[in-house]
Amino acid sequence: MLKPILLVEDDPRDLELTLLALERSQLANEVVIVRDGAQALDYLLQEGEHSGRPQGNPAVVLLDLKLPKVSGLEVLEAVRASSLLKSMPVVMLTSSQEESDLLRSYELGVNAYVVKPVDFKQFVAAISDLGVFWAVLNEPPPGSLRVARKHD
């Protein structure tokens, strides 16, 4: 069974572009979309509207930094504080090039920090590469399920 990719994005344009890029990378993984940090935590902790979701962590969390309700940094901090979630890959996917955001993300244990390219083709390529790396190439911790591309 393939593990989903959790996409946490509140900007409709960035959401559409990210989904298009993931589709072009031909990953067979389901993409679960949440629009704010509170929904992301509910999903990850299996609470609220996500209390009945299937067991297991996503293959990777693509996390926007600037989110309503709970910020991306607060989500990351909660993930790293949880014994069940702390080894899950989290990629900060943001338009912020502020050094303080970058430093704080790494201090909190982010696996990668990717600044969203403005150019459409660069954006699609960056997201496609991220999806392939974290969902296919990255070796997950023992005991977690592997993911596959559609043509595997």
Residue 102, both tokens:
């970058």
- Strand partners for 31: 5
Closest by CA position to 152, among listed 6, 21, 25: 25
| Chain centroid, CA 144 distance in Å | 17
The CATH number of domain 5-137 is 2.40.30.10: no
- Show me where the domains of the chain are located: 5-137
pTM of the shown model: 0.84
Quote the CA–CA distance of 75 and 126 in Å, as a whole number. 22
Q: For residue 151, what pLDDT is reported?
A: 41
- pLDDT one-digit tens code per residue, 60-98: 999 999 999 999 999 999 999 999 999 999 999 888 889
What is the per-residue pLDDT for 63? 96
pLDDT in tens, the chain (152 residues): 688 999 999 999 889 988 888 888 777 789 999 999 999 999 999 999 999 998 899 989 999 999 999 999 999 999 999 999 999 999 998 888 899 999 999 999 999 898 877 677 887 777 777 766 666 656 655 554 443 444 44
**pLDDT score, position 134:** 65
Measured on CA atoms in the order 8, 11, 12, 16, is the torsion positive or negative? negative
